Amino acid sequence: MAKKVLIGAVSGILLVAAVIGVVGGVMRSQKASSGSGDGGSQLSSSAKYVSTFCQPTQYRDTCERTLSKVSNTTSPNEVIQIAINATKDAIRARFDIPDKILKDIPSLAPNLPQRNLSMLQDALTDCKQLLEDTIDFLDATYALSDNVEDLVLRSNDVVTWMTSMNLQVSSCLDGIEHPAVHQAMIKELGNSTELRSNALSMVAQASKVLQALGIQLNTGADSRRRLLAHEEAVYERDSEGYPTWFTTADRKLLGQEIVTPNVVVAKDGSGTFKTINDALNAMPATYPGRYIIYVKAGIYDEKVLIDKKKTNLFMYGDGSKKTIVTGNANYIAGVKTDQTASFAVQAPGFICKNMGFRNTAGPEGHQAVAFRINADLAVLVRCRFDGYQDTLYVQSGRHFFRNCVVSGTIDFIFGGGATVLQNCLIIVRRPMDNQFSAVTAAAGDLPDENSAIVIHNSRILPDKRLFPDRFTLKTYLGRPWKAYAKTVVMETLIGDLIQPDGWKAWDGEPDHCNTAYYAEFQNRGPGADTRFRVRWPAFRVINRQEAQQFTVSNLLYTPGADWIALSGAPQIKGFRRA
């Protein structure tokens, strides 16, 4: 039987739409009669659709103008598709903006030092690619919009894609530090910003909107059975319960046995390749199954990028202290933060075990990323991430880190991904004498984004060099990088290094303390006392019911196959304590 691929990418993002979730289904709605109805009544009905769909958006006037193309329709599909297409058209129309601004740099930013000029040019070049990447996420959402029932059933997938779409543009703007150029880019993006926000809100709130319109969806038992039937069709099982497309190596992968890799990387020449990049460059454009790269023990001083076409890759080493990818690119040396990563992943479906990733720039280098992930459905087990400022960049997508070690100082777990770190050891290192440390710095530009950093059943402790000075060199659980940042620490051991107030405001952005979401749930240890925590509107001590939304089974949910279980990673789907 032909193998079926776990991550089947249409554009590297349509992977989930193509394989893991629901395809097909029937929406049952109260449709207008197709007979000789009253034209005025139809127009009124269309206006009601537009008004109701625009209700949850931040920019209602823009939304209503966008949907003015809706004529005599009671099809929610058409409404959503118009919003998505309008967003795509607006972004496509701006593909050339980075090139235009590049030409205007002499007038916008005259007399820049070469370092700053190079960083600005790199940022604008990145913007062009990031804007183009947003179309992939919009296409993935559009692929489900033919059936609104599917859109609702797959809401976590769709909202994740739309969140990633928005975060690509946000990353573009983050990279442009020169004030005049930054403002020029914002101005040129124009109403595309409002369209992105509105499209996200419409798909995120689709279920509530449809209820308000009186549309009945089949999302109950019948629909779940259809979902299960689809999953079984895609994941046909053998007598042992494995998907039939699993190879023998895949089955061993789910256990603890040694698997047979496609290629071996070894610095000493005993493998297929001497560098990880050579192995990636030789990877076939298409591969029917999971491609496996084994990286033997050694320190690999190379800058690795797994591009978005290299989906469904499994990479493993001999241990997080034996197989190490390292680099020292850093902001002070003139490298943009995202480009400082020693190892970066942009392909969905990435699995990694038993490897270490370092950035050795030190605290003097300021932003210096060891590992960056800008992709969906990533699982990392028994890996280690060592750096100082900005060690682990969870840029966008859903990620699960299990039994990992992360070390750093300032904002060393940061980004806009929906990320759970479970059973991990989080080590705060000694910063420079004039610095503080913050474990997290979550992003989140819009309230409807599927974006959160969750630390679950882990330990937060100082390293040996920080220990004597852990009370004078202040450490916080995190600070809100963006307005709608979300961070949750739950069922975790918190050492006494954490300041009693727990959280720190982002410099120059006091309003984030009102709009962000910061929560703690049933933590333990000397640093877990919440009596003296900050009194922000953004902070709360939550109960079990509220914490439930940040468990693996909810935050990282995708209907159909359990993508974390299929990776072989152990997981706590709910809470550690019943």
Q: Among positive and negative, which fits the CA dihedral 540, 545, 548, 549? A: negative
SS (H, E, C) 156-201: HHHHHHHHHHHHHHHHHHHHCCCHHHHHHHHHHHCCHHHHHHHHHH
Q: Check pLDDT > 80 for residue 16.
A: no
Q: What is the pLDDT of residue 332?
A: 97
pLDDT-derived band at 37, boundaries 50, 70, 90: very low
In the DSSP assignment, the letter for residue 67 is G
**Residue 9 has which token pair?**
């990418």
Does the pLDDT at position 31 exceed 50? no
Q: Is residue 50 part of a domain?
A: yes
Of the three residues 195, 229, 263, the one that is the final residue of a domain is 229
CA atoms within 13 A on the CB side of 499: 18
In this prediction, residue 464 carries a pLDDT of 98
Going by C-alpha positions, the residue among 558, 557, 501 that lies closest to residue 529 is 501
| pLDDT computed for residue 577 by the predictor | 86
Q: 396 with 164: CB under 8 angstroms?
A: yes
pLDDT-derived band at 237, boundaries 50, 70, 90: very low
Check if the beta carbon of residue 449 is closer than 8 Å to that of residue 475.
Answer: no
Would you give the distance in Å from CA 518 to the centre of its chain? 18
Report if residue 373 sits inside a domain.
no
Element counts in the chain: helices (H) and strands (E): 18, 26
User: What span, in angstroms and rounded, lies between the C-alpha atoms of 329 and 443?
Assistant: 23
Distance CA 340, CA 356 (A): 16
452 in any annotated domain: yes
Evaluate if residue 3 carries a pLDDT over 80. no
Give CA–CA dist 348/306, Å, rounded: 10
Q: Is 411 a catalytic residue?
A: yes
> Is pLDDT larger for residue 560 or for residue 145?
145
Q: Which residue, among 237, 162, 174, 235, has the nearest Cα to 202 in the 3D structure?
A: 162
- Give pLDDT, residue 130: 96
Range of the domain at 443: 409-578
Which pTM was predicted? 0.90
Q: What is the pLDDT of residue 246?
A: 45
8 Å CB contact between 504 and 479: yes
Chain segment 449-478, per-residue pLDDT in tens: 999 999 999 999 999 999 999 999 999 999
Read off φ and ψ for residue 459, nearest 5 degrees. Answer: -130, 135
Please tell me the predicted confidence (pLDDT) of residue 48: 82
Q: What are 348-385's pLDDT values in tens digits?
A: 999 999 999 999 999 999 999 999 999 999 999 999 99
Say if 554 falls within a structural domain: yes
- Tens digits of residue pLDDT in 109-154: 999 999 999 999 999 999 999 999 999 999 999 988 888 888 888 8
pLDDT at residue 71, as a whole number:
64
Residue 25: band (very low, low, confident or very high) from pLDDT cuts 50, 70, 90: very low
Q: What is the CATH number of the domain that holds 573?
A: 2.160.20.10
Packing angle, helices 114-144 and 155-175, rounded to 10: 160
Q: Domain boundary at 197, 229, 261, which?
A: 229
Domain tally for the chain? 2
Cβ 159 vs Cβ 101: under 8 Å: no
Q: Which residue has the higher pLDDT, 26 or 202?
A: 202
> 236 or 295, which is more confident?
295
pLDDT for 74-91, tens place per residue? 688 888 999 999 999 999
Torsion angle, alpha carbons of 518, 380, 377, 9, to 10:
150
Task: Identify the pLDDT of residue 1.
Answer: 36
If one counts every other C-beta atom within 10 angstroms of the C-beta of residue 560, the result is 21
Q: Which residues does residue 494 pair with via DSSP β-bridges, in sequence order?
A: 460
The Cα 450–Cα 163 span in angstroms is 6
The pLDDT score that the predictor gives to residue 223 is 53
Reply yes or no on whether the pLDDT at 7 is more than 80: no
Is residue 235 very low, low, confident or very high in pLDDT (cuts 50, 70, 90)?
very low
Residue 207 inside a domain? The answer is yes
Q: Is 50 helix (H, G, I), strand (E, B) or coil?
A: helix
**Is 392 among the domain residues?**
no
Task: Check whether 576 has a pLDDT greater than 60.
Answer: yes
What whole-number distance in Å separates Cα of residue 440 and Cα of residue 302?
Answer: 27
Last residue within a domain, chosen from 171, 206, 229? 229
User: pLDDT value at position 222?
Assistant: 56
29 φ, ψ to 5°?
A: -135, 165
pLDDT at residue 10 in the model: 38
* Selected catalytic residue, list 390, 411, 445, 448: 411
